[in-house]
Structure 1
Amino acid sequence: MTDVPKSVARLTTISTLRLNNNSLTTLPVELRTLQRLTELNLGNNALEEIPSVLKYLNSLKKLYLFGNHITRLPPEVLEGLHNLTLLNLNHNHISVLPPEIKSLSNLETLSLLDNQLEELPVEIGFLKKMVEINLTNNELGRLPKQIYSLSQLARLYLARNNLTELPEGVIGLMKLRVLDVAGNRLSMFPVDFQFLALNELLCEGNTFVKSKLMESVQAVEVLSLKELSARQILVEDRNRFSMVHLALSCHPGLGLLLADRGTCALCLQPFLTTWLECVRFINLRKADGICSFLLAAFRVQRAQLVALSTDRQTDRQTHRVGSGS
């Protein structure tokens, strides 16, 4: 089929419409009468853009658009699909997800395998019901930290991208069970990664740090007034009955600034922006079925320089980077 007949408008009671494996380039506006439609399959056609008529299908829950020639997602269409739970855009030419992706507030499965995505919008963090994201075989160079606010996420596929690191805050994905980061450029995993209850971790084809000690070189640093003040406030904030803790709720800007705090892996004291980055090597084979290699490198943050001799006694840690910013 190269066209959908306009008489489709008379099928007002159907819930599923499969038009996949045709040669469609557009859809008739008459399709808007299908207000009971919950599943629409337009896979393997010749669509160059998502038909605008879809914005009127407010009952749609599953939309398949794989195997077309789509390059962009029209914001006005996304804003009309607020009941969508599954969106499959595999094998297209999409390079950008618009901020309006946040309109898909009921989305549980998002698949963009084999596209040209270079980054994700921070608005991805609004999709609180997300269970599975597949971004395999794209051109992602980084992930927004907001992805870790998807507390229901169970499966995350990021294989064959250009990722050099995973952002901090991974511990927010407490329901994550499958993670595929194979074929990227990762050198280590982020802080607290080892506490994820993963059932499956695929990470071959990266350039992980080898288990070899290296001394760090860092000049003596005078802490700024901002850093000294922040550390004192963060210490006081630990006591939920303190005046500082109670006052922070009245200063949202300050709370946002302090949200990027870290915790020293050695002394357990909080800090803001001055830290020494180290690596801890952990044997992942202790968790059955997780990984096929013995040692994995995990980032460790420290608020101050520690003698290398101390590291030799603490789980084979390695200093990697000087001060952060």
Structure 2
Amino acid sequence: MYNKSTLFWCSFLCVFFESFLFVACSKKEYQDVLKTVYEPKVEPTELYDEFTVQLKGSALQKGETGNWSITKGTVVEDYVKIDDPSNPNSLFRGIPGEEYELTWTVTRVTNSNTATVNVKIPELHIEIKENTPSSFRTILHFAVDPKYKGKWSFDKAYGHLHSTYHDGWARPVEENPTIELHGYSNTSYQVTYTMTYAGKNYQFTKKVQTGEYQEDEALNELQMGRGGRVVEDKDGHIIEMNMQASGIAHRFNDPGSFPALKAFKYLRKLILGGSSLKDVPTIFGDHYLALEELSLDRVGYYLTIPDNFGNLIKLKSFHLTPMRTPDLGYTVVLPRTFGNLKSLETLIMRYVGDVDFNGTLGKLVNLKHLDCFVTQIPSDFGNLTQLVSTEILAQQAYIPSSLSKCHNLRFARFSFVYPGSSPVTLPSDIDNMVKLDTLEIYGESRLQQLPQSFGNLKSLKQLWIQGESLQSIPDNIGNLSNLRFWLVGGNFKTLPASIGNLKKLEDLWLSPSVEKLPDEFGGLSSLSYLNMENSKLTTLPETFGKLKSLKEINARASSITGFPSSFGQLDGLLKLDFNYSKLKKFPVEICALKAVNNVILNGTNLGRLPDEIYSMRSGVIFTLYQCLNMDYDQLKEITAKRDGLVFYY
């Protein structure tokens, strides 16, 4: 239809063209320029993102409504969706690789018309990137775009998976977009990343090849780097590691999960004391064949030695103690291969339980230092001819006769828990141990006598024999010309006269069984400390005053009743302790001592103090608690008249 304005302009144009162009224009010739009814149309879609396209339907006119609908294609709830069906330019999300037909329906008052468009959602493509450090060959790093939520998998066995990806969400390690494959050496792996979307699995793969285990990878497994606690040789190989108190050392016990630890094949020294190690790892005997020093001090609990430990034929030092002592009676039986450790020089195995060497100890022919808890000292102990020092705690008291073959032994300490079925005897040819300077025997060993050859141990400096079974001391004991310390318990009542020949003896602990000292006792010219605690001695020889080097006497609870007149000649004596001894009165001989500064006479029967006490040197402290028949008024008188003397009572 035309309105008046339209007719006017048409007439005007006809006249215009008649005037200037001489063209005729009839009133019945016209076109419908403005349309009020349009057929709906759609244009090809545009990709908005991977799974979403931008729809392009024709614009709506006044009074029209529109609606998008999916007429063909797979529809999965929450995954296939038209964001705003009434919007001609709505976003449509579909499933990757699927084709859809969408219809744009325009509705007017009297009718509806439609137009359709075919939509193809592009195929999903996820790129697996490898970011492995250049020095790694078996720990491989892979990554995908974090927007793809999926899961990693591998076609062959591996050690373990690790990821350093953190976004605040907890999830299984294989569901992180970045992953570390701790694989096995020289293995071809197919890496697969699977993403599940709309109920459909999309898999993307990558093939990789591992190489040999690298030392940097092994350090990575232990969360360590080069430098600091790690020592390298000139070729860059790791030869020493100090993992004292490491909380991650337990990984050595699980080489299947941490296979790169096998790379430490040049390692010579490994310290793992106080670490989280659970037991002696098998990886050592399989791969650490260059080890020379291994310290496993305070690790694990019920410790065992694996069969392959004997492969460490270069090992020189081995220290093994548990974090906690196992229950009494626990025995560690060493494998037969332990005897292969021919290079071993130092062996320390304390508190692991009772070690049964299983016939291997005598094969350690280069052993120099042995410190061990054992069931019983092995009979082949004498094969250790290079042994310099030993400290052994044994369940059963026994010293093999072969001990005398250890002619390089300098220090020997034997402790016994149970006395055993027969008395301990020392080798009759013990004087073959020409370098022995310390012999200590603890526990109830039932040692009844010392061999006559004992006096020939010219190098002996310290002798400590505990117990009450020893019946006598050899007459030639005075031949121990270098002896400096003596503590010998037993059931003997006297000491041989030759004891006076021990000119270098400095510390002497008398057995409580001794009832009399020989007159030659005064010949101990170097004696500095004398212990007569609980002694049955009632008197001291008159030669006692010759002990000019004596500085301290401990005679607590002894049976001493008085001192010889020569006692006052002990010019070097600083302290004497006769607590609860059998003294019958205050020993006047004390008053002549020139250097004494501490006199302890608690619990003795002192009575009235002699007048000679006024002549004593200043600075002397008397301790006189619970003394019998003490004249306390006299003490007050003495302190009032004599400065420099102190009495505690």
Question: TM-score scaled by structure 2?
Answer: 0.32
Q: 1:156 aligns with which of 560, 573, 576?
A: 576
2:441: which partner in 1? 19
Q: Which amino acid aligns with 1:4?
A: L
Superimposed CA distance per residue, residues 252-294 of structure 1 (whole angstroms, 9 cap, x where no aligned partner): xxxxxxxxxxxxxxxxxxxxxxxxxx9944269x879x4444x
Closer/same/farther in 2, CA of residues 155 and 281 from structure 1, 3 Å limit = closer
Q: How far apart are the structure 1 equivalents of 2:592 and 2:528? A: 17
1:56: which partner in 2? 479
Query: 1:81, CA displacement in angstroms?
Result: 1.9
8 Å Cα contact 1:145/1:167 also seen in 2: no
User: Alignment RMSD, CA only?
Assistant: 2.8
1:242: which partner in 2? none
Closer/same/farther in 2, CA of residues 129 and 37 from structure 1, 3 Å limit = same
Corresponding residue SS for 1:211: helix
Corresponding residue SS for 1:162: coil
Corresponding residue SS for 2:611: coil
Corresponding residue SS for 1:156: strand
Q: 2:611 aligns with which of 175, 178, 191?
A: 191
1:41: which partner in 2? 464
Query: 1:123, CA displacement in angstroms?
Result: 1.1
8 Å Cα contact 1:27/1:53 also seen in 2: no
Superimposed CA distance per residue, residues 210-242 of structure 1 (whole angstroms, 9 cap, x where no aligned partner): 428xxxxxxxxxxxxxxxxxxxxxxxxxxxxxx
Query: 1:25, CA displacement in angstroms?
Result: 0.8
Q: Which amino acid aligns with 2:483?
A: L
8 Å Cα contact 1:61/1:85 also seen in 2: yes
8 Å Cα contact 1:16/1:40 also seen in 2: yes
Q: 1:80 aligns with which of 501, 507, 522?
A: 501
Query: 1:200, CA displacement in angstroms?
Result: 4.4
Closer/same/farther in 2, CA of residues 32 and 292 from structure 1, 3 Å limit = closer
Mapped pair 1:182 → 2:602: yes
8 Å Cα contact 2:534/2:559 also seen in 1: no
| Unaligned segments of structure 2, at least 5 residues | 1-397, 399-423
Corresponding residue SS for 2:442: coil
2:585: which partner in 1? 165
Question: TM-score scaled by structure 1?
Answer: 0.61
Mapped pair 1:9 → 2:431: yes
8 Å Cα contact 1:170/1:192 also seen in 2: no
Q: Which amino acid aligns with 1:282?
A: T
| Unaligned segments of structure 1, at least 5 residues | 213-277, 294-325
Question: Structure 1 or 2: larger helix share?
Answer: 1
Q: How far apart are the structure 1 equivalents of 2:621 and 2:474? A: 38
Query: 1:23, CA displacement in angstroms?
Result: 2.1
Closer/same/farther in 2, CA of residues 69 and 200 from structure 1, 3 Å limit = farther
Mapped pair 1:208 → 2:640: no
Q: How far apart are the structure 1 equivalents of 2:609 and 2:538? A: 21
Q: Which amino acid aligns with 1:86?
A: D
Query: 1:49, CA displacement in angstroms?
Result: 2.0
Q: Which amino acid aligns with 2:503?
A: H
2:276: which partner in 1? none
* Higher relative contact order (CA closer than 8 Å, sequence separation 6+): 1
Closer/same/farther in 2, CA of residues 161 and 45 from structure 1, 3 Å limit = closer
Query: 1:182, CA displacement in angstroms?
Result: 1.1
8 Å Cα contact 2:494/2:517 also seen in 1: yes
1:135: which partner in 2? 555
Aligned residues: 223
8 Å Cα contact 1:83/1:106 also seen in 2: yes
Query: 1:31, CA displacement in angstroms?
Result: 2.7
Query: 1:80, CA displacement in angstroms?
Result: 3.1
Identical residues among aligned pairs (%): 21
Query: 1:151, CA displacement in angstroms?
Result: 0.7
Query: 1:64, CA displacement in angstroms?
Result: 0.9
2:639: which partner in 1? 282
Query: 1:138, CA displacement in angstroms?
Result: 2.0
Corresponding residue SS for 1:64: strand
Q: How far apart are the structure 2 equivalents of 1:171 and 1:200? A: 12
Closer/same/farther in 2, CA of residues 281 and 103 from structure 1, 3 Å limit = closer
Corresponding residue SS for 1:19: strand
Corresponding residue SS for 1:48: coil
Q: How far apart are the structure 2 equivalents of 1:182 and 1:152? A: 23
Instruction: Output aligned runs, 1:302-317, within 5 Å.
Output: none
Closer/same/farther in 2, CA of residues 7 and 141 from structure 1, 3 Å limit = closer
Closer/same/farther in 2, CA of residues 3 and 145 from structure 1, 3 Å limit = same
8 Å Cα contact 1:170/1:190 also seen in 2: no
Mapped pair 1:101 → 2:524: no
Instruction: Output aligned runs, 1:285-304, within 5 Å.
Output: 290-293=646-649
Q: How far apart are the structure 2 equivalents of 1:7 and 1:144? A: 41
8 Å Cα contact 1:179/1:198 also seen in 2: no
Q: Which amino acid aligns with 1:15?
A: D
8 Å Cα contact 1:116/1:139 also seen in 2: yes
Corresponding residue SS for 1:159: coil
Q: How far apart are the structure 2 equivalents of 1:97 and 1:29? A: 21
Closer/same/farther in 2, CA of residues 117 and 32 from structure 1, 3 Å limit = closer
Instruction: Output aligned runs, 1:210-289, within 5 Å.
Output: 210-211=632-633, 280-282=637-639
Q: Which amino acid aligns with 1:78?
A: I
